[in-house]
Structures are given as structure tokens and as C-alpha cells.
Structure 1
Amino acid sequence: MIDRARIWLLIFMAVVFITTGCDRRGPDGEQVDPREKIVIKFSHVVAEDTPKGQAARRFARLVQERTGGRVEVQVFPNSVLYKDGEEMDALQQGAVQIIAPTTSKLSCLAPQWQLLDLPYLFENEEQVHQALDGEIGKKLFATLEPHNIHPLAFWDNGFKQMTNSKRPLVHPRDFAGLTFRVMINSQVLEEQFRSLGANATQMPFSDVYGALSRNQVDGQENTMSNIYSQRFYQVQPYMTVSNHGYMGYVVLTNATFWRSLPPDIREIIEKTLAEVTWWEREQAARLNDKNFRQIKESGKVHVHIQTEGERAEWQAALEPLYQKFRPIIGAELLDEAFRLKGSPAAGS
């Protein structure tokens, strides 16, 4: 007859096996105490093979390696958890711990973020990075802290191009009567299309392909990597390479959650994000170039590359936006952006 001590030992071993699973070792083979493990849900709305998708996976892998398995970052791409209009609430409520929305979507919290939606504000990625890694970025970050949001990094997507199903977009008059999807929360983007004579309708990113394929909207603006990965080019026969606006992401975490992390974990996450940010920016540039070639080679799209003269026409049509949004965005931010650009402030 088995004595009572052995019975209790067998019960204890069974409970340990059930609660810890078959193998709870970290990536380095060391045992990880499940009670100490930190799980971070990272939700985003684009495909895994985009710059953001690849960077999120790289960040997750490096954090798990560098914390010896104490931190597990679970990445949920393609709106599988939350759509554009849902992820901000999910972050603030603690349902997810990290998101990386486009800068446009932050204007619902602070109108200053619409600065980055202004067309032709930046001429290249170098100007963008000078702004976001400098005083402009610091001032924009500061607007989020009152909302229980702690910003961590700026990631690139790239410059946007115009696509549509009706005709080539060469001159501003070519936009007349067309309807374009725009990202949620940005008045600047809506006014951008109205200034060109088109209509604008807000729509979550996950709904765009369906709307384009069913002709519910005529066109959209996006980076090459999104146009390719979301197959927009298959249902949009016209594309103008205009580089008219920058699209970037802000990696955000819940501030309460961030403060609850041990200092050593916060340090690892910050250092890893800084490293991944530089990698992501390089990857975004390479991937946009590669996807542009693939779009052209598909034979499905008539590609028009904007000339300097045409760019000047579009800029003239869109110039009133600077004056209209100057008091909303703030003269200080707008003037700083133009100082970096090396040109007089528009709308002053």
C-alpha cells in the first residue's frame, strides 16, 4: 500500500506538469518560472511582410532572446485582434500592451499629430528623421502622456502614392468627381482630397481592398509596400508616383503597464526598439523599392511618375491647407518643420 507521503508527492508532480506544460524552457535552454513570465501582446493592422510586420517579428524575437524567455512578445498582424478604430481603445484599456498605428490616427488624441499629414511637408526620409528624432518628435510624444500612453519609437512606412480605377492622375483637375479612401481621424487628409476636387471617405485599413474591388471607392493613397502586400495594385489600374505625403508609425505602449515593468526589462525593451528602429527604416526603403519594381513588372498598372512641373501644380492646389490647419496644429510645430526643410513657413 502506497503511503500518504508518496500520494501527495505524485499529486504535486501532476499539478506542476499540468500548470507548466511539457516544456517551459527559455530560448537558451534555461527553465523559466511561469509566475515571472511577462506576456506582451503587440497588435497591428498590416501584413507580416511589410516593414512594420517584419520589424514587429524581429523585435519579438530579440526581446525573448535578451530576456532569457522572461518576456514573450506575441505579435498579431493584419487586424486579427483589432481594427484601426479599435486598437487605441484596446491599448488604453490594457487589452493589448503595444500597438504601432500610423501617425494620422493619433490626431483623435492630439490634433498636433496632423502636422505629419500635410502634403509635401517633407522632401525625403532624411528630413523626416531629423524632425521625428528631434524637437518635433519630443513635442509630439509629450501630447500622448496625458492619455495613459507611453510612446516608444517612430517607424517608417515611406512616402505615399496615389492609385485609382478611373484614369491617370497627372494634374489636379484629374481628381474631379473621384472618391478616395482616407485613414480615420485625420481632417488634413480629407481636406487634401477636397482641395484637389475629389471626395474623401474614412475607412479602416482592413476594409480597403474589399471597397476597391467592389468599386465602393475609386482610389486610395498608400506606400508601395502596402499597395503591393494588400494587392491594391490588382484592382487599381492607375498609379501616380507622387511622394506627396509621408506615412509613418508610432510604437506605443500602455503607460500603466510600462511603469509596472521591472527596470531591467524596460531597459532591454528600449535598447532593442532603438536597434530595431534603425533596421526597420532601412528595410522600409528597400522593400518599397522592391515592391515598386514588382508592381511595374505585374503589367496590371499604368504607372505615371510625377514631373517637377506637375509637383508644383499639386503643391499650389494644396497650399491653402497650411493656412487652414496652422492654428489647429500649432504655429511652433509648423515653423520648426519648415526650418528643418530650409524654406519659409507656409500659411504664416
Structure 2
Amino acid sequence: MLKMKKISTLLLTSVLTLSLAACGSGGGSKDAAQPSAAPANSAAPTSAPASSNPQDDIQPITIKISHVVAENTPKQKGAVAMKDEIEKLSNGKIKVQVFPNSQLFGDKDEYQNLVANNVQFIIPDMAKLVGNDPGFNIPSMPFLFNSDKAAEGFWDGPKGQEIFKKLEKDGVLGMGFWPNGPKQITNNKRPIKAPEDLKGLKFRTQGGQVLEKVYATLGAGSVSIPFNELYTALQQGTVDGEENTFSNIESKKFDEVQKYTTVMGHTRVDYVLLTNTKFWNSLNDATKKIVEAGIKKGTEVARTEANALNEKAYQTLKDRKKTEIYVLSKDEIAKFRDALKPVYDEYTPIIGEDVIKDAMSRE
């Protein structure tokens, strides 16, 4: 009897052991085939990302770029490159419209319309901004820069960027320096070869007290006339002459109404790409990144094209032979420099001695 109880106990133990082994193997349990919950520190995502396509984050907007000069200019070439880059990178979600030749706004009202966010980018001549900060007189200081590279170095540097920041009080951001180049003098009265040749003549300038001082020092008068009205003013004799880059003189055909051109390079036409603060702050990161890439591309093209277009325009003016061209010698330029020293005496303290010194140091 005792022997039978021992046998029964051994059989029961064996059955329980086999049963537990079977459960532990997971091979026969339907529930064991289901995945277990991931641990709390698992790398597996808890939810899907908002968008798997970065293009989905780009804001569908339309950007307007307005400027006042013709199509065959560094400014227009840069604006078109900016447009193309933005539209390409956004796959067309961002539309960019470029309005040259004062089609949208002119010299007199483009800045106000930028402040009002009626246009998102303008590229004004810096001479138009001297009322906002005297630092924008830099391109008008006679014989200050020897090359486009020198001007680029200044405006890309700390002193130039400080001047751009002065516009933020208006809700405007300076986004980049776009050069046009050194200016030459044209007129309808006589060849300009020496400082005294300007006496009694009246010139159109972009405006600003420095340019007024330059011409007053040389015994000439000056008046500010919108660029899109200049051809008619020259044709009708409202002014005797003007100062501009070769690309602007050629593209606007000023040689048709100006008998004489003097290659002088005494002052410059330089632009700043401006945008509206409210517009800029309304862009999300994905959109802003694309617009910044467009600005970079446009700036590169504008800078590359400036010198090339001016050289080409100079050759075109010579080939057309509608204006008599005179090139100042080094000695003649030295006489102009001496005659214009009073401009530096008056405006260096106003602009800032440190700013003038920085500009003069650029090569």
C-alpha cells in the first residue's frame, strides 16, 4: 500500500513537470505568439512624425521683388536668380514675381511700400537711404573704393552690417550688399577733364547731402530726379548731365541724349537688398531656409554680373559712338581728389571716422 502511494506521487510530479516545461517553451500557446509591449526606454517611436516630406512644411506664398532699373543690369540678373532658386527649391510652392523698371513702385515710394509690406523685397540705391542713417553716404564719398571687391569687403564686414541694422527701427532688414559699380559723368555741354569744367553745370544725382556737397565743391548744381524720369529730363535739358554706371547709362540709352561721357569712377552706385520684418518673421523655418538660399544665390549672381555687365556696356557705348568718351588720366584724377578734400573734412565726423577708416582699408 505504501509502495503504491509512492508510485502515484512520482507519476503526479512527472506530469506537472512536463506541463510546466510545455508552457515555458511558448511553442503551443496562442497568446505567446503576440509581441510583448516595448520597454519604457525603447527606441521605437511612440507616434508617427507630423510629415515625412519636408516640402509639406513649406508655406505656399507669393513674394514680390521691386526695383527701378532695366532688365540688362546686375540688379535684375540677381533678382531673377533669386526668383529661380526659391521656386526651384520649393518645387513651385513659393511664387516669386520680379518687377523691374519701376513697374510696381518707383524711387519715391518703394521704401514706404516695403514698410507697409505691400512688397516683400526692394533693392534701392543706398543714396536713397541717407536720411535713415548717414552711413549710407559711403558710396557717395569720392574715390573711397578702388574696386567692387573693396566695397563688398566693407559692407560684408562689421561696420557695413552695423549700418544695415540701423533700418530695423523702421521694420526693415538689410539682407545683402548688391553692387552696381563706379559711376561715370555724362553731360550735354562740354567734355569734363578737370574740376573747373563742371562749373555752372547742373547734374542729376540720386540725392543726399554728400552728393550735393561733391557737386557744390566743384561749382556745379545738383538735383534729385527719379531714375525712371531721367531720360526725359536729359532730353528736355532739365539738367545738363548725370552720373551713373556704364550698365545704367547703356541700358537706359542715356548716350542718345548726352554728347559727352567722362570715365571717372569718382563715386559708386551700390544697392542693398531689403525685406520687411513682419514678412520675414511670418516665415517658418522650412520656408525661411529656402528664401535665404535664394538670397544667397541672387547676391552671388548680382556681384558676379556687376563687373561683367559694366565692361560689356562700356564696349557697347564705344561701339554705338553716340557719345564722346574721355578717360581721365591718373594725374587728372589726382586733381579731382585734391579738389574734393572738403567733402571728407565735413562728412568724416558725421559718418564716423572709424567707418571711413574701415572703408579706406579695403582693397
Q: Give the TM-score normalised by structure 2.
A: 0.82
For residue 321 of structure 1, what is the aligned residue in structure 2?
343
For residue 78 of structure 1, what is the aligned residue in structure 2?
101
For residue 302 of structure 2, what is the aligned residue in structure 1?
280
Task: Return the alpha-carbon distance in structure 1 between the equivalents of residues 170 and 352 of structure 2.
Answer: 20
Deviations 1:108-166, CA, capped at 9 Å, x for gaps: 21122112210100111221111111122211111111110011111111110000001
SS at match of 1:233: helix
Question: Are residue 255 (structure 1) and residue 277 (structure 2) matched?
Answer: yes
Task: Return the alpha-carbon distance in structure 2 between the equivalents of residues 107 and 333 of structure 1.
Answer: 15
Question: Are residue 338 (structure 1) and residue 351 (structure 2) matched?
Answer: no
Q: How far is the alpha carbon of 1:339 from its aligned partner?
A: 3.0
CA RMSD of aligned residues (A): 1.6
The equivalent position to 2:128 in structure 1, one of 105, 108, 113, is: 105
Q: How far is the alpha carbon of 1:226 from its aligned partner?
A: 0.3
Q: How far is the alpha carbon of 1:38 from its aligned partner?
A: 0.6
Question: Are residue 46 (structure 1) and residue 63 (structure 2) matched?
Answer: no
AA at the equivalent of 1:137: G
Structure of greater Rg: 2
AA at the equivalent of 2:159: I
Q: 1:36/1:278 Cα in 2 relative to 1: closer, same or farther (>3 Å)? A: closer
AA at the equivalent of 2:326: H
Task: Return the alpha-carbon distance in structure 2 between the equivalents of residues 104 and 227 of structure 1.
Answer: 18
For residue 208 of structure 1, what is the aligned residue in structure 2?
230
Q: How far is the alpha carbon of 1:81 from its aligned partner?
A: 1.3
> Counterparts in 2 of 1:279-318, with a 5 A limit?
279-318=301-340
Q: How far is the alpha carbon of 1:180 from its aligned partner?
A: 0.1
Q: Is the 8 A contact 2:80 2:298 kept in 1?
A: no
Unaligned runs of 5+ in 2: 1-54
Percent of matched pairs sharing the same residue: 38
Task: Return the alpha-carbon distance in structure 2 between the equivalents of residues 320 and 133 of structure 1.
Answer: 28
Task: Return the alpha-carbon distance in structure 2 between the equivalents of residues 87 and 265 of structure 1.
Answer: 24
Task: Return the alpha-carbon distance in structure 1 between the equivalents of residues 99 and 77 of structure 2.
Answer: 12
The equivalent position to 1:119 in structure 2, one of 142, 158, 163, is: 142
SS at match of 1:340: coil
Task: Return the alpha-carbon distance in structure 2 between the equivalents of residues 270 and 187 of structure 1.
Answer: 34
Task: Return the alpha-carbon distance in structure 2 between the equivalents of residues 210 and 109 of structure 1.
Answer: 29
For residue 37 of structure 1, what is the aligned residue in structure 2?
60
Question: Are residue 233 (structure 1) and residue 244 (structure 2) matched?
Answer: no
Task: Return the alpha-carbon distance in structure 1 between the equivalents of residues 138 and 60 of structure 2.
Answer: 39
Deviations 1:261-314, CA, capped at 9 Å, x for gaps: 111221222122222212221111111101101101111111100100100011
For residue 132 of structure 1, what is the aligned residue in structure 2?
155
For residue 55 of structure 1, what is the aligned residue in structure 2?
78
Q: Is the 8 A contact 1:152 1:270 kept in 2?
A: no
SS at match of 2:130: helix
Task: Return the alpha-carbon distance in structure 2 between the equivalents of residues 190 and 161 of structure 1.
Answer: 16
Deviations 1:232-273, CA, capped at 9 Å, x for gaps: 011111000011112111000001110101112212221222
The equivalent position to 1:143 in structure 2, one of 155, 159, 166, is: 166
AA at the equivalent of 2:333: R
SS at match of 1:170: coil
Consecutive aligned runs of 4 or more in structure 1 exceeding 2 Å deviation: 338-341
The equivalent position to 2:205 in structure 1, one of 178, 182, 186, is: 182
Task: Return the alpha-carbon distance in structure 1 between the equivalents of residues 358 and 129 of structure 2.
Answer: 20
Q: Is the 8 A contact 1:64 1:70 kept in 2?
A: yes
Q: How far is the alpha carbon of 1:36 from its aligned partner?
A: 4.5
Q: Give the TM-score normalised by structure 1.
A: 0.86
Q: Is the 8 A contact 1:162 1:222 kept in 2?
A: yes
SS at match of 2:135: helix
Unaligned runs of 5+ in 1: 1-31, 342-348
Deviates more, 1:330-339 or 1:287-296: 330-339
The equivalent position to 1:169 in structure 2, one of 189, 192, 209, is: 192
For residue 28 of structure 1, what is the aligned residue in structure 2?
none
Task: Return the alpha-carbon distance in structure 1 between the equivalents of residues 285 and 269 of structure 2.
Answer: 32
